[in-house]
Amino acid sequence: MRKVLVLLVGAVLVVAFSGSDVLAKRHLKRERPERHGFMGNPEVMKERLGLSDEQIDKISEINLDYKKKYLEYREKIAPKKIKLRQMLLEENVDLQVVRSLLKEISDLRLELKMLRIKQRLDIEKILTPSQREKLKASKMEMRKRYKRKAK
């Protein structure tokens, strides 16, 4: 009987640790690699689009400004998400407060999306018409590659 119990506990531990490994790998897949902001790696895009050093400097400045503002919004969102999770674990959930918190989170996410659009538009203003066309073609190629990988 004791051997069976030891084997059972061992099997449970193996399953538990292998399951946590799978969850950790899933979490790592969801994390995005370090991004350089819109336009990806500036050096690669410099070559691909024929950007000048002046354009690269301006784009880098726009991206840095975007990253700073992005982090400010993420700092505002994180505590609200935590508070929401805590509230949903309570025995009596006040749906009005949940709704209010969800609205606040949603509004901040909207601002993040608007910030991203502004960043893209600001960068596109720096590009020449032919560079914008090359960028558009590059994006289309990336979408096609992504769709092929997804299948």
Q: What is the pTM of this model?
A: 0.67
Q: Is the pLDDT of residue 7 over 50?
A: no
pLDDT in tens, 10-65: 444 444 444 444 444 444 444 444 455 566 677 788 888 999 999 999 999 999 99
Least confident of 67-71, 91-95, 118-122, 147-151: 147-151
Alpha-carbon torsion 137, 113, 148, 42, what sign? positive
Q: Is the pLDDT of residue 92 over 70?
A: yes
Q: Is the pLDDT of residue 88 over 70?
A: yes
Alpha-carbon torsion 129, 46, 35, 115, what sign? negative
The more confidently predicted of residues 103 and 37 is 103
Per-residue pLDDT, 6: 44
Q: Is the pLDDT of residue 108 over 60?
A: yes
Q: Which residues are CB-contacts of 56 (< 8 A; sequence separation ≥ 6)? A: 42, 46
Per-residue pLDDT, 80: 97
